[in-house]
Amino acid sequence: MKRLAILGATGSIGTQTLQVVDAFPGRFDVVLLAGHSNWQLLLKQAEKYQPACVVVTEPAAFARFQQENTDPKLVVLSGMEGVLKALEQFPVDMMVGAMSGAAGIEPTLKALELGIDLALANKETLVSGGSLVRKAQQKSGAKIIPVDSEHSAIFQCIEPGSSCLNKILLTASGGPFRTWEKKALYQVTPQQALKHPNWSMGRKITIDSATLMNKGLEVIEANWLFDVDYDHIQVLVHPQSVIHSMVEYGDGSVLAHLGRADMRIPIQYALTWPERQGNPFPKLDFTQLAGLEFYAPDFEKFPALALAYAVGRTGKSAPAVLNGANEVAVAAFLQEQIGFMDIPALVQWVVEQHIPVEIESFAHLMELDRWARQKAQQFVQQHRQ
């Protein structure tokens, strides 16, 4: 049995990971579950999957979990220290990185240091700490299998040892405002932005998908995962989300990955890789597809995408600053403190004030992240609606 640690177990990716576990009885052993504030769901998950350890990172939720837990054998830890300690004490074969945001960086680095293979959904970790992740991975030899649907698609289209790769075609649905006029975007409400046309996901990534910052983060993620430079990563708007991404080779062949918009497919592939296994999930019915469309992205209407490309090219600490600022911007938008188009404006304002430096350590990265968040808060105070 493959022993799993699932970080972010209560979220969209975490719960779908457990559905994949359910689909393969006897194949996975859930050893460790970690969640932040939803202690009720963590309790239910602990009862069902009987892990050796549960970590509740939010202090008040940890206290409630402790009160309600009736299993004396279950080890219950709190905070990020708890996550790190649990990874050290409870051996696993794979960690599913499904926390949202920069909170995923430290446990990802820890897992790699310990030589634990990663099924990585948490793209913010690669955007922000890509250089540290690469170093830790090279040192231990642990593998990173992407869970993000586009990157899973690319991973499946890049044949081992394949040469002559021309470019990556990273597909994007275009989000809920693809066909809107730019001036209407200034009036977008959180409720409107939280309605993604094709995917059901956590709140932060759903807003990122509406600004196209998500695609920008994915461009940087692809650069780190596949070592392909920014001139050879092309974003392609494909509203149907049937093709999850493609790879073009020098001979003109294009390999694509198609499937339903169901995250359980890339999650399962990461969990069972290098094997491919059948599952009972619904399959793509081509007779029901009206057509597949493709467009170039509108960089003017969605400045976050252009900004992410520029920041990715700058490299060093610039993507970490972009990521920290974006997390604050998204939270402020969801709290109706700033407008939708203030999100890219805020991120740009913070990035422009930053002089990129090499990231020397995790502590240094956290310092840069804090700086970006403080600057972003300053913008929020000045632009509060």
Is 124 a binder of Mg ion (CB under 5 A)?
no
Closer to ligand NAD by Cβ: residue 100 or 326: 100
Q: Which has the closest alpha carbon to 241: 303, 174, 180?
A: 174
Is 199 a binder of ligand NAD (CB under 6 A)?
yes
Task: Give the one residue of 3, 110, 123, 244 binding ligand NAD; rule: CB under 6 A.
Answer: 123
Closer to ligand NAD by Cβ: residue 48 or 384: 48
Q: Length of the chain in residues, anyone?
A: 385
Rounded CA separation 50/63 (Å): 20
Closer to ligand NAD by Cβ: residue 12 or 348: 12
Q: How far is the CB of 274 from ligand NAD (least distance, A)?
A: 21
Task: Give the one residue of 121, 207, 321, 330 binding ligand NAD; rule: CB under 6 A.
Answer: 121
**339 burial level (CB within 10 Å; 0-12, 13-18, 19+):** middle
Tokens matching residue 83: 């996550």
DSSP secondary structure string, 251-315? Answer: TS-EEEEE--S-THHHHHHHHHTT-----SS----GGG------B---TTT-HHHHHHHHHHHH-
84 binds, among ligand NAD, Mg ion, none (CB under 5 to 8 A by kind): none
Q: How far is the CB of 120 from ligand NAD (least distance, A)?
A: 9
Q: How far is the CB of 183 from ligand NAD (least distance, A)?
A: 29
| Helix and strand counts by DSSP (H, E) for the chain | 15, 11
Q: Which has the closest alpha carbon to 236: 227, 245, 228?
A: 245
- Interaction residues for Mg ion, span 61-90 (CB under 5 A): none
Strands 254-258 and 243-249: antiparallel
Encoded one letter per residue, x for contact with ligand NAD by CB under 6 A and - for no contact, window 154-193 reads ----------------------------------------
Q: How far is the CB of 121 from ligand NAD (least distance, A)?
A: 3
Is 148 a binder of Mg ion (CB under 5 A)?
yes
Helix (H) or strand (E) holding 233: strand 233-237
Is 99 a binder of ligand NAD (CB under 6 A)?
yes
The residues binding ligand NAD (CB under 6 A) are 8-14, 35-36, 38, 57, 98-100, 103, 121-124, 148, 199, 201-203, 205, 263
